[in-house]
Structure 1
């Protein structure tokens, strides 16, 4: 793999990481802490939505983001010919 390819690979990888971490931050911190009072006015399954994000939603989103990252990285590895 050439040096330019390695730089492009890591640039795309870091872009994926930045987007996924921003989503995780939004869900866990913004929805779970900062906007909890506004979200609590909405009910989901009998529970206040702010409570759900703080207790359950952020964990579910984190697990989903792990699988999304794996899928994106497998695609990126194939693109640059470093897949197993």
Structure 2
């Protein structure tokens, strides 16, 4: 295997690691906080709404948008690390 192919393979392995971690965080926030932990979170209020309801309706969307920006930053660093930046 050539050096370029080794770099590409390592790049995609790190990329998949980032994707798995970030999507796991989103799953925990959206499914966990919005459905599984809803009863416990409903004891807390945020802006007059129960926190479990807030995560189900708004929180998972906000977390997803934040994770998009985190992913962009991680990918820019990864591109520079492996020389795929322009």
Fold in common (TM above 0.5): yes
Where structure 1 has 5 or more consecutive residues not aligned to the other structure, the ranges are: none
CA RMSD of aligned residues (A): 0.9
Q: Is residue 2:73 matched to residue 1:71?
A: yes
C-alpha deviation, 1:28, in angstroms: 0.4
Moved more, 71-80 or 39-48: 39-48
Query: What's the CA shift string for 1:27-81, capped at 9, x where partnerless?
Result: 0001111111110011112211101100100000000000100000001000111
Which among 54, 57, 63 is matched to residue 56 of structure 2? 54
Q: Where in structure 1 do 4 or more consecutive aligned residues deviate above 4 Å?
A: none
Which among 37, 41, 44 is matched to residue 43 of structure 2? 41
Q: Is residue 2:10 matched to residue 1:8?
A: yes
SS in 2 for 1:68: helix
Where structure 2 has 5 or more consecutive residues not aligned to the other structure, the ranges are: none
